[in-house]
């Protein structure tokens, strides 16, 4: 009953903090919002053009070949040429396709990819055409949920593309990738809950400003680990690109697509990569804030205004490099293993982690007992107890796991005796490597004597 009695206090503590976004749009006229929307759009398009070239060049380097280097300096215009080619190609639609949905699907994918970027804070307060405005299109108290919701709508593009193609491989690819994206979205959402708990808000601008002392990658390290895995699964990239496994499904959901419709899927996929990377940057790596060390030089000048765009872009491209690196080094996983990993490891583990973080946070807020001073710093007792319990559990679990593997190992490899009686079973058996042959025992059944019948003379 004490919990129930404590509830009103907890409620009053919750009510104290407001979660309204900290970004201040009061000095932002409508036309400036339109200009910012245009800037975000162009930023994404140019980044996509660059990242396709970047990916091909880096993978080329990893595979000891040059990669595209013919069009423009360093092959920079290769993507532009590919895009022009896609536009000029013949627009083919299969006879069995559902005409309306077949065209709708790529439009959904491409347009939804752009929407999610509207809430990313790409820089702090900047002055733009005489107005002081945060460099993000909009912000709401539920900005991060908006990204997840938009991603959920974006999956429709994939599912509908698979269905409307009127063919088997696309249907299977569409089902696969949508099942994959939905499953990994659950783990992704759960991993972000820890960040919400630390920041006390779901608005991106508040989350970034809550990281001014410590990036959340440190306290929420397990969330970061889960998020990075789910972000690769969410974007259908290698090693999780099962939806397009060429060996199994030809092209997956976009098998029947060509020309501009295919280009739109391509664009959507790359912008989705930017979106999840931008979300990772915002949630875990301090968003547009300068890296530690640089943040305090020149009296914090590097942490203000347009400098934020540089740090944001640098962190974004770090994640893009990780995407390419993964693609260059890892083989594709098997679909059932992938799903088992998502449902049976990532989701339960993240759930446990969120509960743990909730306890830590409650301890920090002083709701669960007092503090304990160790070496001049005070820690909540609950956190220390929890850390102790987890350490003990990890030790016990590791020991149990060790003994179990040892037992399994012993069961799998029974001990081989040094000597072997080759005729023990009545049938000659060759020795295993390292075994000695024993002389045939007297008790062994006698070898059958030579056959009575002589071979009949031939001819």
Partner 1 sequence: MTGTGEEVMFWILGPLSVLGALGLVFAKKAVHAALGMALTMIILGIFYIAQDADFLGVIQIFVYTGAVIMLFLFVVMLVGVDSSDSLVETLTGQRWATAVLSLGLGGILGAQIGRASLDDAVGLDAVNAQTGNVSGVAELIFGRYVWVFEITSALLITAALGAMVLAHRERLGKGPNQKEWSKRRFQEGEHLAGLPAPGVYARHNAVDTPALLPDGTPSELSVSRVLTARDQNLAPEEYTAGERTIERDVQEGGER
Residues that bind partner 1 (CB under 8 A): 7-8, 10-11, 14-15, 17-20, 98, 101, 140-142, 145-146, 148-149, 151-153, 155-156, 159-160, 162-163, 171, 174-175, 178-179, 182, 185, 201-202
Q: Which is nearer to partner 1, 140 or 250 (CB)?
A: 140
Residues 6+ apart with CB under 8 A from 344: none
The vertex-26 CA angle with 21 and 32, nearest 5°, equals 105
Cβ at position 75, least distance to partner 1 in Å: 39
**Measured in whole angstroms, how far is the alpha carbon of residue 253 from the centre of its chain?**
21
Expressed in percent and rounded to 5, the helix, strand and coil fractions of the chain are 60, 5, 35
Minimal distance, residue 245 CB to partner 1, in Å = 20
Helix (H) / strand (E) element for 173: namely helix 168-199
Report the distance separating Cα 199 and Cα 203, nearest Å: 9
Q: Provide, rounded to whole angstroms, the least separation between the CB of residue 149 and partner 1.
A: 4
Radius of gyration of the chain (CA): 31
Peptide bond into 332 cis (omega under 30): no
Least Å distance, CB 19 to partner 1, is 4
Q: How far is the CB of 141 from partner 1 (least distance, A)?
A: 5
Cβ count near 277 (within 10 Å):
25
Instruction: Kindly tell me which of 26 and 63 has the beta carbon lying closer to partner 1.
Output: 26
Q: 182 or 385: whose CB is closer to partner 1?
A: 182
Rank residues 1 and 450 by Cβ distance to partner 1 and give the closer one: 1
Return the closest-CA partner of residue 165 out of 228, 77, 103, 81: 103
Q: How far is the CB of 163 from partner 1 (least distance, A)?
A: 5
Backbone angles phi, psi at 46, to 5 degrees: -65, -40
Q: Distance between alpha carbon 385 and the CA centroid of its chain, in Å?
A: 32
To 5 degrees, how large is the angle CA 216–CA 219–CA 220? 70
CB of 110 to partner 1, least distance (A): 17
Nearer to partner 1, 206 or 211 (CB): 206
When the beta carbons of 152 and 425 are compared against partner 1, the nearer one is 152
Given the complex with partner 1, which of 3 and 442 has the nearer CB atom? 3
């Amino acid at each position: 009953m004490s919990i129930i009695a404590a509830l009103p206090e907890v409620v009053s503590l919750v009510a104290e903090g407001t979660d309204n976004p900290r970004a201040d749009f009061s000095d932002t006229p409508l036309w400036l919002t339109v200009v910012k929307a245009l800037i975000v759009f162009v930023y994404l398009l140019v980044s996509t053009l660059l990242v396709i070239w970047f990916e091909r060049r880096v993978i080329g380097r990893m595979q000891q070949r040059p990669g595209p280097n013919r069009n423009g300096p360093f092959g920079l215009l290769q993507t532009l040429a590919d895009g022009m080619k896609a536009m000029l190609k013949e627009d083919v639609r299969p006879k069995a396709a559902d005409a309306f949905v077949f065209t709708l699907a790529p439009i959904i994918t491409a347009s939804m990819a752009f929407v999610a970027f509207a809430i990313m804070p790409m820089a702090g307060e900047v002055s733009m055409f005489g107005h002081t405005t945060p460099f993000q299109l909009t912000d709401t108290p539920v900005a991060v949920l908006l990204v997840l919701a938009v991603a959920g709508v974006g999956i429709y593009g994939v599912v509908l593309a698979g269905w409307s193609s009127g063919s088997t491989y696309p249907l299977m690819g569409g089902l696969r990738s949508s099942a994959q994206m939905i499953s990994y979205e659950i783990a992704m959402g759960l991993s972000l809950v820890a960040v919400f708990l630390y920041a006390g808000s779901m608005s991106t601008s508040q989350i970034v400003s809550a990281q001014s002392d410590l990036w959340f990658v440190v306290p929420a390290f397990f969330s970061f680990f889960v998020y990075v895995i789910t972000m690769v699964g969410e974007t259908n990239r290698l090693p999780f690109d099962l939806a397009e496994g060429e060996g199994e499904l030809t092209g997956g959901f976009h098998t029947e697509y060509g020309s501009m419709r295919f280009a739109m899927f391509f664009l959507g996929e790359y912008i989705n990569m930017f979106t999840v990377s931008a979300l990772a940057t915002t949630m875990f790596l301090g968003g547009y804030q300068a890296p530690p060390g640089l943040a305090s030089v020149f009296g914090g000048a590097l942490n203000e205004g347009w400098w934020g765009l540089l740090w944001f872009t640098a962190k974004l491209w770090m994640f893009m490099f990780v995407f390419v690196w993964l693609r260059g080094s890892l083989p594709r996983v098997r679909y059932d293993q992938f799903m088992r990993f998502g449902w049976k490891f990532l989701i339960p583990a993240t759930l446990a982690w969120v509960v743990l973080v909730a306890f830590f946070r409650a301890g920090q807020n002083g709701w669960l007992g007092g503090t304990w001073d160790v070496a001049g710093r005070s820690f909540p007792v609950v956190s220390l107890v929890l850390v102790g319990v987890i350490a003990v559990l990890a030790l016990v679990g590791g020991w149990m796991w060790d003994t179990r593997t040892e037992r399994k190992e012993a069961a799998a490899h029974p001990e081989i005796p040094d000597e072997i009686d080759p005729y023990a079973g009545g049938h000659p058996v060759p020795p295993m490597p390292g075994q000695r042959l024993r002389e045939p025992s007297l008790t062994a059944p006698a070898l059958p004597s030579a056959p009575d019948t002589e071979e009949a003379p031939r001819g």
